[in-house]
Amino acid sequence: MLTDTHARRWQILGVLSLSVFLVVVDNTVVNVALPSLARDFHASNTALQWIVDGYSLPFAALLLLGGDTGDRFGRKRVILTAMAFFSLFSLFASYTHSSGELIIARALMGAAAAFIFPATLSLLTVTFTDPRERAAAFGIWGATSGIAVAVGPIVGGALITHFWFGSIFLINLPIALVAIALGWWLLPEARGVAKKIDVPGLALGTMGVTTLILAIIEGPTWHWTSPTIITLFVISFLVLIGFILVERHQREPMLDVRIFRHAAFSAGAASIAINFFALFGFIFLVTQYFQFVRGYSAFSSGLHTLPFAITAALVTPLASIVAARVGPRYVVPLGLLTFAGGLSWIGTQTPTSSYFWEVVGSMIVISIGFSLVNAPSTTAVMGSLPDDQIGAGAAVNETTRELGGTVGVAVVGSVFTSLFTPGVLSALQPAHLSSSAAAEASSSMQAALATTSHLPAVLAAHVHPAVTSAFMTAFHRGCFVAAGVTAAMAIVGALTLPATPVAAGNAH
């Protein structure tokens, strides 16, 4: 059986990559459909936010359970079963008739995805035993995730342009069916070390991550200093402390928290979190820049991100191979610094900057930096784990990605809003709008442009450039904040990441 698995290991990687692509792309494809959903469902801004976040919250909350389930019942079985449910929930989402139904469908899809993702990473880890081949496999796996993030808006834009909104979910079915068929044929079955179900660990871990993600998601809407948000943060802190204490004293813990003492694991996980913090913050800003400042359509905006996807596909596998030779300390911090440099460059763009030199150039630099961090950090995390912690480690790896991305949108979005809102209010003063109309216009760039379009031509000619200037000021600040956080993590990584390649089983 082991010989057969080794012989078809690259085909197995293809199936796992296809599964990951489907899970990740669905986390981004829905964004371009939001205007259509707002129109068809008469959805409020809160409802639109939860159509997006309804997928992320159960996905992040159930990852630890998903990793443990794969270890316990078999990773192949869990992947195929969860993929079947993912298909069923995608079908439900494609034919929903209200925002409430769609939020429920998205939540169910996110829950199913939580059982797919850690099982794919666990199965990849046990399939590739040679360190160099494993590094290349992680590189391809990581490139798949990066490409999916960029491809989502392109696929969504194309489908929305020619079909109804449900097509962005219905397209999941043929992809999932192919993955299930190939997985049934090619994937080996693998389990972790048999152990009792850690009920307290599962309950505390799930509750702690859920409350933390919920607080981060709703912080910008409910206000960071509101009693509700503060309470959620306090609860998550206390519950996660309880989780650590319980796991330290369990004879068979779901996650041996002592693994965080290992620099390869903890620094690798932190690097992943900051990498996705910067990536999702960048995507949040650049999609608005493309559509509202440069005037691209949703589909065109997706196409204009292709340089990022192409670069990630080329660089990520190479980065992982290099890190396997020289160690993550020399690759990951370089990637973080490169990422910061790219963010700083795009943070100097203007509405008339050359796309083919300044915008594409900065996106390529950003993609190179992201790619140098993503797979080598995952290799450091997974390579530092003993066999009985692979599933839980895979869940932690993905949880850090989700936390980093969610925090990135929340923090960068808050920085953006803190400058954009007063800037737009100042720009609209010559229009003498009512306080309620001005507040509505300053709520988003789309609302500001809609308000400007109804002003008299002479007044609009004066106000529109001021609104665009307010956007660009906020855009620049958001990019620089993301760059600063990324550069800071580069320094931490240079001091804490291992200088030698990480081999499997180093953690004990």
pLDDT value, residue 55: 85
User: 181 with 208, same domain?
Assistant: no
pLDDT value, residue 379: 78
- Per the structure block, which two tokens stand in for 443? 């709520």
pLDDT value, residue 194: 56
pLDDT value, residue 228: 93
- Per the structure block, which two tokens stand in for 1? 């059986």
> In which residue are the tokens 């530092």 written?
384
475, 350 Cβ separation under 8 angstroms: no
Average the pLDDT over each of 47-61, 230-244, 359-373 and give the range with the smallest value: 47-61
The mean pLDDT of 260-269, rounded to a whole number, is 83
Residue 229 falls within a domain, yes or no? yes
**Residue 339 CB contacts under 8 Å (≥ 6 apart), including other chains:** 275, 278, 365, 366, 369, 370, 372, 373, 483, 486
User: 162 with 237, same domain?
Assistant: no
Tell me the torsion sign for CA atoms 39, 44, 47, 53.
positive
User: 188 with 204, same domain?
Assistant: no
pLDDT value, residue 334: 95
- The residue length of the chain stands at 508
pLDDT digits (tens, 9 = 90+) for 271-312: 999 998 998 888 888 878 888 888 887 678 778 878 888 888
User: 186 with 200, same domain?
Assistant: no
Largest CA distance in the chain: 76
User: 232 with 96, same domain?
Assistant: no
Residue 303 falls within a domain, yes or no? no
Between CA 139 and CA 144 the distance in angstroms is 9
Alpha helices in 95-130 (DSSP H): 99-127
Domain termination residue (choose one: 208, 225, 251) = 251
Residue 145 falls within a domain, yes or no? yes
- Per the structure block, which two tokens stand in for 224? 């960071």
Between CA 237 and CA 209 the distance in angstroms is 9
Residue 359 falls within a domain, yes or no? no
Between CA 148 and CA 219 the distance in angstroms is 27
User: 58 with 154, same domain?
Assistant: yes
User: 150 with 129, same domain?
Assistant: yes
Residue 433 falls within a domain, yes or no? yes
**Residue 327 CB contacts under 8 Å (≥ 6 apart), including other chains:** 497, 498, 499, 500, 501, 502
User: 54 with 95, same domain?
Assistant: yes
User: 221 with 177, same domain?
Assistant: no
pLDDT digits (tens, 9 = 90+) for 192-221: 665 677 788 888 988 988 898 888 877 777
Domain termination residue (choose one: 147, 162, 195) = 195
User: 205 with 99, same domain?
Assistant: no
Residue 110 falls within a domain, yes or no? yes
pLDDT value, residue 508: 40
Residue 374 falls within a domain, yes or no? no
Residue 96 falls within a domain, yes or no? yes
User: 49 with 3, same domain?
Assistant: yes
pLDDT digits (tens, 9 = 90+) for 101-135: 999 999 999 999 999 988 888 888 888 877 778 77
Looking at the structure of the chain, the number of domains it has is: 3
pLDDT digits (tens, 9 = 90+) for 470-497: 999 999 999 999 999 999 999 999 998 8
Alpha helices in 34-192 (DSSP H): 34-41, 45-61, 63-73, 75-94, 99-127, 131-162, 167-170, 172-186
The proportion of the chain whose per-residue pLDDT surpasses 90, expressed as a percent, equals 27
448, 465 Cβ separation under 8 angstroms: no
User: 77 with 63, same domain?
Assistant: yes
Domain that holds residue 219: 196-251
Q: Which among 70, 31, 71 has a CA at the least distance from the CA of 49?
A: 31
Between CA 325 and CA 321 the distance in angstroms is 7
pLDDT value, residue 209: 83
The mean pLDDT of 388-408, rounded to a whole number, is 75
> In which residue are the tokens 């620099």 written?
263
The mean pLDDT of 259-266, rounded to a whole number, is 81
Average the pLDDT over each of 84-98, 374-388, 452-466 and give the range with the smallest value: 374-388
Domain harbouring 153, CATH code: 1.20.1250.20
